[in-house]
């Protein structure tokens, strides 16, 4: 039986009274990164068993230029490298990516005028390959059977062979990744929830979103609970998320930060992704479904509270994978 349609309310943030500014950019388009709306999914969540006294909200991160939450970190990484001189004229930005960060790098490179080389697993969706090429980036494909870890190993090999040619952005180990979320995503969530947030739920990929946002929220209110979401095991493939026990561990990850590690099955992620599209009008990616599935699980335990998660991207980059058929 289908769940009745649930209206989605939108909460915008007024940066005129915010404590920090969105990440600045060198063009008007880059200045639009950040300041995404917070969507109220409470009605949708309640129809899945969440108590009426619990609010469930999600940041609509596909509204960033480049179409994902990764635009925040990519811009911060690039601008820090420009300030330090590591990304100097003539240098090529190179990094590994499963898609979204690479698309953001390619977009920023097209605007700022530097070359971008991206190492991506050969089995990423056609849409992601097409987007990085559309922005003018060079795509280097790694072994599809090795996933994102294989892409990391290949990019390290390329940089070691020609270190003078590249600026290695290294999103998994670059502090600018989590700092982007400490200075933008965290403050936005705090203001948009009027400081009422009690639980923050986010998936682990590079871990930058979870670490940066989580650190900010803990600094504002130590009682906020941070729930880290990852696939149930290495066989549960959820695009954009890593099963950290069996993957190359991101250097920026702080394993003391999470109050709880919450595993999610691929089946649960897919089920919620489908429900969000058909019953809440939100066409989102697989990792978004996983994050909302985890947020609903957390919310079901509560009698009151405000649970906030993120929708990292929309579903447009995954259509060719057939998961929406």
Residues with a catalytic annotation lie at 70, 287
In sequence order, what are the residues at sequence separation of 6 or more whose Cβ sits closer than 8 angstroms to the Cβ of residue 244? 204, 230, 253
Distance of alpha carbon 143 from alpha carbon 20, whole angstroms: 41
Q: Which residues pair with 200 in a beta bridge?
A: 226, 308
Distance of alpha carbon 289 from alpha carbon 268, whole angstroms: 8
Two structure tokens written together for 4: 């009745």
Neighbours of 46 (CB within 10 A): 19
Residue 36 gets which letter from DSSP?
Answer: P
Write the burial class of residue 120 (CB in 10 Å: 0-12 exposed, 13-18 middle, 19+ buried).
Answer: buried
Distance of alpha carbon 144 from alpha carbon 124, whole angstroms: 8
Distance of alpha carbon 261 from alpha carbon 135, whole angstroms: 37
């Amino acid at each position: 039986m289908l769940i009745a349609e649930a209206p989605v309310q939108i909460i915008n943030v007024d940066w005129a009274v915010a404590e920090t500014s969105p990440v600045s950019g060198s063009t008007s388009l880059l200045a639009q990164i950040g300041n995404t709306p917070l969507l109220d999914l409470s009605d949708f969540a309640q129809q899945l068993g969440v108590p009426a006294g619990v609010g469930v909200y999600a940041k609509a991160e596909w509204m960033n230029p480049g179409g994902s939450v990764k635009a925040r970190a990519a811009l911060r990484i690039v601008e820090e490298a420009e300030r330090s001189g590591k990304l100097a004229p003539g240098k090529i930005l190179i990094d590994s990516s499963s898609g979204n960060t690479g698309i953001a790098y390619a977009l920023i490179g097209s605007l700022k005028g530097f070359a971008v080389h991206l190492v991506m697993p050969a089995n990423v969706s056609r849409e992601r390959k097409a987007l990085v090429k559309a922005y003018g980036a060079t795509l280097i494909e790694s072994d599809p059977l090795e996933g994102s870890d294989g892409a990391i190993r290949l990019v390290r090999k390329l940089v070691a062979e020609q270190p003078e040619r590249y600026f290695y952005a290294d999103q998994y180990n670059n502090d600018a990744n989590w700092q982007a979320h400490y200075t933008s995503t965290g403050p936005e969530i705090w203001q948009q929830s009027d400081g009422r947030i009690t639980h923050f739920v986010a998936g682990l990929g590079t871990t930058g979103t979870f670490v940066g946002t989580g650190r900010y929220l803990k600094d504002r209110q130590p009682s906020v609970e941070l729930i880290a979401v990852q696939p149930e095991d290495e066989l549960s493939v959820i695009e954009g998320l890593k099963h950290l026990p069996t993957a190359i561990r991101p250097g920026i990850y702080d394993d003391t930060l999470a109050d709880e590690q919450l595993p999610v099955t691929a089946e649960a992620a897919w089920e919620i992704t489908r429900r969000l599209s058909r019953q809440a009008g939100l066409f989102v990616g697989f990792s978004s479904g996983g994050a909302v599935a985890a947020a609903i699980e957390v919310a079901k335990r509560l009698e009151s509270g405000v649970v906030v998660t993120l929708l990292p991207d929309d579903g447009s980059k995954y259509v060719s994978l057939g998961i929406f058929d």
